[in-house]
Amino acid sequence: MLIAAALNPPVNLLQSAGDQDQDWRRWRLVGGLAAAVLILPVIGAAALAARDDLAARDLRQRSEAAIAAAFTDIPATADPVAEARRRIAMALPAGGAAPAAAALFAAVETVPGAELDSLSADSVGGVRATVSYAAFQDLETLKAGVEATGLTLTDTSTLEDNGRVVSDVMVGAGLPESGS
């Protein structure tokens, strides 16, 4: 081992000028390795992003297939996820219309000057109501009151009538609205 180290020292102080060509090859090798060390994490991140994108597409397709199986009457031109969300938001909560009506009554009582103008409930359309109140921000108070009971309040139309705000709303068992 000592003889091998003496014949091939790691640093040769006696090297000639012709050996400089070999030094450039070594530096090129070191540069190539440094570039590989810098590029490999980027390639790895891109591969992971591609894998996640494929997994998300697969999950989306499986969800749409499950929704199509559950709601067979959704038209082919409709977005199945949006249509399923709309139907779930309209669905009557467990226990029927009574819990939805009670949640809406309780929410209306918390808003000063708010009135429940009409209320209807059926198994297809869910619980629908017309509510009037003094200011546009009162709708957020109504939503918060209903959502505190685990239900959702969806505003279908709002307009101003003789200085009061009138909203047609739906109360359902669905998930709260999201950005997706």
Q: How confident is the model at residue 177 (pLDDT cuts 50, 70, 90)?
A: low
Q: In this predicted model, what pLDDT tens digit does every residue of 69-123 receive, in sequence order? A: 888 888 878 888 888 877 777 777 777 788 888 999 999 999 999 999 999 887 6
Q: How confident is the model at residue 171 (pLDDT cuts 50, 70, 90)?
A: confident
For the record, the structure tokens of 93 come out as 């909560």
Q: Judging by DSSP bridges, how do beta strands 164-172 and 126-133 pair with one another?
A: antiparallel
Residue 176, pLDDT > 70, answer no
What pLDDT does residue 40 have?
95
Q: In this predicted model, what pLDDT tens digit does every residue of 95-108 receive, in sequence order? A: 778 888 899 999 99
Amino acid at 97: A
Q: What is the pTM of this model?
A: 0.54
Closest CA to 97 of 129, 72, 61: 129
Q: How many CB atoms lie within 10 A of CB 141?
A: 17
The answer to whether 127 touches 141, Cβ cutoff 8 Å, is no
Task: Determine the average pLDDT of the residues in 164-177.
Answer: 79
DSSP letter string over 92-155? PPTTTHHHHHHHHHHHHHHSTT-EEEEEEEETTTEEEEEEEESSTTHHHHHHHHHHTTT-EEEE
Residue 14, pLDDT > 70, answer no
Task: Determine the average pLDDT of the residues in 35-50.
Answer: 95
Task: Determine the average pLDDT of the residues in 151-155.
Answer: 86
